[in-house]
Structure 1
Amino acid sequence: MSLAPMAAAIERRLEAERDRLPLWLPVMLGAGVAAWFALPRAAWWSATALALLAFALAAVAMGRGGRCARMLMIGALAMAAGLGLVWWRAERVAAPVLARPAVVAMTASVVRVESLAARDLVRLTLLPGVADLPPRVRVNLATADVPVGIGPGATIRLRARLMPPPEAAVPGAYNYARVGWFTGIGATGRGFAPVVMLTPSRGQSGLRTRLGAHITQRIAGSAGGIASALATGDTGAITQTDADAMRAAGLAHLLSVSGLHITAVVTATMVIVLRLLALVPALALRVRLPLVAAGAGALAAIGYTLLTGAEVPTIRSCVAALLVLVGLALGREAMTLRLVAAGALVVVIVWPEAVAGPSFQLSFAAITAIVALHEHPVMRAFAMQRDEAWWRRLARGGVLLLATGVVVEAALMPIAAYHFHKAGLYGALANIVAIPWTTFVVMPLEVLALLLDAVGLGAPLWWLVTHAIAALLGLARAVAAAPGAVSAVPVMPDGAFALIVIGGLWLALWRTGWRRWGLVPLASGTIWALTVPSPDLLVTGDGRHAAIRTTTGISLLRDRTGDYMRAVLGETGAIDGEPGLLSETTTARCTADLCLAMVGRWRVLMTRSVYLVPVNDLADACRNADVVVSERRLPRTCRPRWLRLDRPVLTGTGGITVNFTSETIRTVRTAGDEHPWRQPPTVMPPRPPRQESRSVRPKWPGGS
């Protein structure tokens, strides 16, 4: 069978889609970045890059100058460039990392101060200047222990317990080790009082800090935290309960400065500048006022980005806004997929590691879905302005807003499920109310209140801001409390997520009928994700914490498990509520030192303390167990029937999850993984003092 007719059909299709082909350039660049994260070994990275280069040459040689050949060549080269770019970036930002936990005394220079008022903490980024410590560390201090005058440039002396940046506790959990590598953080920990101020900050606290403090003084509680987040990007004053409610309602994006906030600032600036300049006839007749307003909007976007800390997500939104303003200045359409692609291209080139993070994926998925929807001919025809009654115009706007919310929620739900293991059901409806309310009510009122504070007249406006934010919080709490508002989902396989992303991009970026082929990978990935079984056993990388699936959900091994670890095990265990305790279930027998749990026909034996069990007794218990879990090295005589997870094993695998029905195991680490944050640490702290062991003989459950 000749392939010529098929090749001709593809050429005709690509000719019809020729203006959409550039949209795939950042996609292929990002695919190369994703390939570097997915492949474990340096040899594989080199082989993949060489294979892509060979494929590009083959496409040129065999394509005979056709559009398909050029597209394949450029795509392969872009993918190879993305792989090489993130590899180079990972090597360029390399910095020493702490080897093991240690308590150290240090004199350090303060780089950054972040207030976490809701947790009564202050987070400091420090430059220790100590030979056997990483050059940059992050330390949390209790608010009461923070000395007066602390700020960027201050020098302090303190003791702190430091540890290496933690990798994912279990498969699918947040991997701070990777994030810390690219941000240069070599250790994290907790500081102890007293903290001695040696040199105070060279100047007053920054504008961002002073503005946040000013706002939280005017509005108490989470409402003040939300007001501060809208102005400065600082979410530290929002209580965990309200932050969870906002997340469950699909409104968490309002708390991080993103495209919504940048758009509101730019739009307000342009409208004000246009109105003011139009009052001067000489300027209105001689100057292109829209161009001047666009310039003012650009300055406002840059200033707002700097004010809110110039975080990567905010910079991405600022870049996109600047591209839109350039388009307006050139007389082009305000927002197109080409502008979105240009913004994504800039971000991937400058911060290639952002491709693997949820912030990049969520922000660009949302804007791509919105623009693709409104570029569709049917939506264009429906949204076209016409001479009609006001109620029809209002109803048409409501339908457009609802359709936009549904499409955005559909685009964001797989990403949220992949990263956070939660799927919200009512987010689209909540955003229909929350986004206009925040954009046109809360933010303008807050700006006016801040302006009137300059002359001491802001109090009435702050009262209005307080009640406006209270209404927003009330909406979030009501939606979060609704039945089925949030569904916990198992950890999504990487392959399923990749299929969903490919299918979504195929649907969004093409214009003609073959875009419908994107439904095939989209449906395949969705079915794969929905059919993944939840894990029956979860064990953290240090072996200290474990959870078992019982008839009531997930039950924790240790009665005293911290809030963070409870949340991690609950989320990755795909449960909606709080995890229970294994010692309170009827399917386990626990003492202070051991737990024997039943999962169907499987028997799991787990140690609960650092105290040793008599070797012979432990050997008998191991022989009657299918799986044994321990945070320490087990003796050779401990031989379970199937799986032994002790310190030597977990050191190689990291955190682990097990599904007993399918007998499948997932691990955090891959054998031979050569990503830099997996490499042996380069900083060796002093050896900690030896601790004495307890002489009391521990109790243990029998082996029967």
Structure 2
Amino acid sequence: MGVAQSFAEMMRAQRGALFGWVPVFLAVGVGLYFQLGFEPSMIHLGRVALAGLFCAAFARGLPEPARPLAVAGLLVCLGVLLASARAHSVAGPVLGFRYYGAVEGRVVAIDRSGSDALRLTLDHVVLDRVSPERTPLRVRLSLLGDRSSDIPPEPGLRVMITGHLSPPSGSVEPGGFDFQRHAWFIGLGAVGYARTPLMGVAEPAGGLGVFRVRMAASARIQEVLAGDVGGFAAAITTGDRSAISQQALDALRASNLAHLLAISGLHMGLMSGVVFAALRIALALVPPLALRVPARSIAAAGALVAAAGYLALSGGNVATQRAFIMVAVALVALMIGRRAISLRGVAIAATIVLVLRPEALMGPGFQMSFAATTALVAVFGWIRDEKISMGPGWLKPVSAVVISSAVAGIATAPIGAAHFNAIAQYGLLANLVSVPLMGVLVIPAAVVAVVLAPIGLEIVGLWLMSFGVWWILAVAHFVTALPQSRSYVVGPDAAVLPLLALGFLTLILWRGRLRWGGLVAIAASFLIWSGTQRPDVLISDTGTLVGVMTLEGRALSKARGAGFAARNWLENDGDGSDQGVANARWDANSTAIMHLSGKRAVEAFKGCVRGQVVVSSVKFDPQDLPCVVHDPDSLKQTGALAYRFGAQGLEMAQTARTASGDRLWTYWPERKTPRTPERYARRNKD
């Protein structure tokens, strides 16, 4: 049998199963756009568009087995164009300097920072001595210090405060999480903090009605349910996480229960399922009506309306929008008499999300939710098709919960470990004893609370809800307290997750023997991950922290300060130590690298030798030094730095600038002459 004939038979075997690849190739195009080291010009985008048109035009002229290849090329081109269009559509001014002064704006979001400080997002911003053209559309401020004299922030309230603002920072290490890109797509042009009192400028005006309802509902929940129970209940009903403590958040993360806090597919699916079942039962109780109307379609329509209401009440963030789209696809399928849960439905939902928000592909939320959903649909579809018994009737719900938790855990564990560098050792156990309670008690009680709220009896539903929430928090704290409840893994190379996804999707979507090639790709991804080499030296983008890899782990130059960079470096190393422990490893007499922290250290500096790297946390302009010097001014042009030990000593491995490129969302000052030994050699020669 010839190659062409074998290929034709292989492609014919995929009939009816190729639609699942539509979001995959669309995602390839989106991923290519975000991995570029430069912003494509109109000429580049025009060429991509022409390539897509070429694929579309010649698809019909190709033999039938080859047509999917042309469609795949078209989808990749569409992915690039969609991502570029989205990036340009959200463009807004980004603060290009450090600002200190009056900040005025309207409160459009209230949450908490990683340090547990209250945080406000403002729009309609006014900055002192900054023109409207250069003023960011939105800024985010963490309120530090004593806030007893503050006015309570309310939705829509126009406030003023004296604060420190700066452009969104780049990644803490080359190739790390790109906060500049994240801020660009959520409309943040500046971030900062304030220690002065918050003052009201004008009462809340019109608009932001849904936000006001959300915050009022959250306040009522916290009034009825105190402490973290109320904070958890408010978070899963209104999306307001500002009332839950950092201790509870850490426990939920360490026990792999943090996903219960985010309004995602689980919550949206459970809520829709409760409403759907309630409407079906209500219609069935009226036989004359049940016999004359399509009860299932009406119940599905009612559940869709309820899901839309939940989307609005929860704040409509990206994760909730994604969950709503997935649920909406399933409910619409029910309304038109199709199978509600199928791989085709998952593919439709993924395609819609990628078209509306291509940037979602780069986040862990999209990757984990669709990995879990795809795996669950595939596994339960296989159980159904193969007629595998799940036990007697009374045991089937328990079996379903166990299988669901295990499959979702296995599918999402590598992605979670890649993004968060941690594995909850008892996460499966915690989910087995917590997730069922969400479906049996917490979400139904929340629906009851919403239904009874108009007559003032929401306390009944909230009271029932509190028992389930208390149990979940208790499980989180118990599991976190177990010995070695959390282990850490090294951050993978950039190729690991795409290769893992390719293997996972090939195993599920492809028909025929080639599908087992997915196992090879999965094994290869883990092999590459196991061989990941971390940089020998890391330098923060402000020069305030240096980390050197030792036999005991990374040694940090400071025990305090630059905590965000320190925590991320250690986590990416797979090191669970805190900054103080890492600082104890630091050798201040190292001949390879020297860290000058503060003006006194610079004043006491006595010189360096060729091959040595000197990092200063303050502006430092040395004269005729043979070593490489990095200070805040030079680091503004490069971002964080990574070095490796080579044959000739320390060698530059990568900069954050080369890793992220010059994109719409990056800000780099004009490049100056680098401070290298060659520069000084030339200057001395002249």
Query: Is TM more than 0.5 here?
Result: yes
Q: Residue in 2 aligned with 1:9? A: 6
| Deviation of 1:460 (Å) | 6.9
Q: Residue in 1 aligned with 2:492? A: 492
Q: Does 1:23 align with 2:20?
A: yes
Letter aligned with residue 360 of structure 1: F
| Deviation of 1:179 (Å) | 1.3
Q: Residue in 2 aligned with 1:541? A: 541
The 1:265/1:502 distance shift into structure 2, 3 A limit, reads same
Q: Residue in 2 aligned with 1:198? A: 201
**Paired residue secondary structure (1:71):** helix
Mapped contact 2:147–2:197 kept (Cα < 8 A): no
CA RMSD of aligned residues (A): 3.2
Q: Residue in 2 aligned with 1:138? A: 140
Mapped contact 2:503–2:518 kept (Cα < 8 A): yes
Length-normalised TM-score, structure 1: 0.85
Structure 1 residue corresponding to 2:334, chosen from 314, 322, 328: 328
**Paired residue secondary structure (2:17):** helix
**Structure 2 matches for 1:485-564, cutoff 5 A?**
485-561=485-561, 563-564=563-564
- Paired positions, count: 657
Structure 2 residue corresponding to 1:603, chosen from 581, 592, 598: 592
Q: Residue in 2 aligned with 1:690? A: none
Mapped contact 1:618–1:638 kept (Cα < 8 A): no
Q: Residue in 2 aligned with 1:674? A: 662
Higher deviation after alignment, 355-364 or 218-227: 218-227
Q: Does 1:427 align with 2:427?
A: yes
Mapped contact 2:434–2:471 kept (Cα < 8 A): no
Mapped contact 2:563–2:579 kept (Cα < 8 A): no
Higher deviation after alignment, 99-108 or 549-558: 549-558
| Deviation of 1:271 (Å) | 1.5
Mapped contact 1:145–1:195 kept (Cα < 8 A): no
The 1:226/1:674 distance shift into structure 2, 3 A limit, reads same
Q: Residue in 1 aligned with 2:191? A: 188
Cα distance in structure 2, aligned partners of 1:579 and 1:95: 36
Mapped contact 1:122–1:146 kept (Cα < 8 A): no
The share of aligned pairs that are identical, in percent, is 31
Letter aligned with residue 302 of structure 2: A
**Structure 2 matches for 1:368-447, cutoff 5 A?**
368-376=374-382, 378=383, 380-383=385-388, 389-390=392-393, 394=395, 397-447=397-447
Mapped contact 2:111–2:120 kept (Cα < 8 A): yes
The 1:379/1:125 distance shift into structure 2, 3 A limit, reads same
Q: Does 1:356 align with 2:356?
A: no
The 1:214/1:425 distance shift into structure 2, 3 A limit, reads same
Structure 2 residue corresponding to 1:223, chosen from 214, 224, 229: 229
Length-normalised TM-score, structure 2: 0.87
| Deviation of 1:255 (Å) | 0.8
Cα distance in structure 2, aligned partners of 1:568 and 1:159: 30
The 1:45/1:380 distance shift into structure 2, 3 A limit, reads farther
Q: Residue in 2 aligned with 1:628? A: 614
| Deviation of 1:21 (Å) | 0.8
**Paired residue secondary structure (1:613):** helix
The 1:46/1:495 distance shift into structure 2, 3 A limit, reads farther
The 1:157/1:399 distance shift into structure 2, 3 A limit, reads closer
Cα distance in structure 2, aligned partners of 1:672 and 1:20: 36
| Deviation of 1:164 (Å) | 0.5
Structure 2 residue corresponding to 1:639, chosen from 613, 619, 626: 626
**Structure 2 matches for 1:111-122, cutoff 5 A?**
111-114=108-111, 119-122=116-119
Cα distance in structure 2, aligned partners of 1:54 and 1:411: 35
| Deviation of 1:379 (Å) | 5.5
Structure 1 residue corresponding to 2:635, chosen from 637, 646, 650: 650
The 1:324/1:457 distance shift into structure 2, 3 A limit, reads closer
The 1:106/1:429 distance shift into structure 2, 3 A limit, reads closer
Higher deviation after alignment, 664-673 or 522-531: 664-673
Cα distance in structure 1, aligned partners of 2:600 and 2:322: 51
| Deviation of 1:313 (Å) | 1.2
Cα distance in structure 1, aligned partners of 2:90 and 2:59: 40
Q: Residue in 1 aligned with 2:587? A: 588
Cα distance in structure 1, aligned partners of 2:305 and 2:342: 22
Q: Does 1:367 align with 2:373?
A: yes
Q: Does 1:177 align with 2:180?
A: yes
Cα distance in structure 2, aligned partners of 1:117 and 1:666: 28
**Structure 2 matches for 1:272-287, cutoff 5 A?**
272-287=278-293
Letter aligned with residue 7 of structure 1: A
Cα distance in structure 2, aligned partners of 1:467 and 1:554: 44
Higher deviation after alignment, 624-633 or 434-443: 624-633
**Paired residue secondary structure (1:678):** coil
The 1:164/1:437 distance shift into structure 2, 3 A limit, reads same
The 1:496/1:48 distance shift into structure 2, 3 A limit, reads farther
Q: Which consecutive residues of structure 1, in runs of 5 or more, have no partner in the other structure?
A: 590-595, 683-704
Cα distance in structure 2, aligned partners of 1:614 and 1:114: 42
Cα distance in structure 2, aligned partners of 1:240 and 1:13: 53
**Paired residue secondary structure (1:18):** coil
Letter aligned with residue 386 of structure 2: A
Cα distance in structure 2, aligned partners of 1:389 and 1:583: 58
Cα distance in structure 1, aligned partners of 2:465 and 2:399: 28
Cα distance in structure 2, aligned partners of 1:455 and 1:302: 22
Higher deviation after alignment, 509-518 or 403-412: 403-412
**Paired residue secondary structure (2:328):** helix
**Paired residue secondary structure (2:542):** coil
Q: Residue in 2 aligned with 1:698? A: none
The 1:421/1:658 distance shift into structure 2, 3 A limit, reads farther
**Paired residue secondary structure (2:159):** strand
Structure 1 residue corresponding to 2:90, chosen from 89, 93, 105: 93
| Deviation of 1:150 (Å) | 4.0
The 1:451/1:397 distance shift into structure 2, 3 A limit, reads closer
Letter aligned with residue 136 of structure 2: P
Q: Does 1:316 align with 2:322?
A: yes
Cα distance in structure 1, aligned partners of 2:400 and 2:240: 32
Q: Residue in 1 aligned with 2:680? A: none
**Paired residue secondary structure (1:522):** helix
Mapped contact 2:263–2:314 kept (Cα < 8 A): yes
| Deviation of 1:552 (Å) | 4.4
The 1:513/1:202 distance shift into structure 2, 3 A limit, reads same
| Deviation of 1:345 (Å) | 0.9
| Deviation of 1:410 (Å) | 2.5
Letter aligned with residue 243 of structure 1: L
The 1:115/1:634 distance shift into structure 2, 3 A limit, reads closer
**Post-superposition CA distance 1:316-360 (Å, at most 9, x none):** 111111111111111111111111111111111111111111111
Structure 1 residue corresponding to 2:653, chosen from 665, 668, 672: 665
Cα distance in structure 1, aligned partners of 2:392 and 2:225: 41
Higher deviation after alignment, 57-66 or 166-175: 57-66
Mapped contact 2:157–2:204 kept (Cα < 8 A): yes
**Structure 2 matches for 1:330-345, cutoff 5 A?**
330-345=336-351
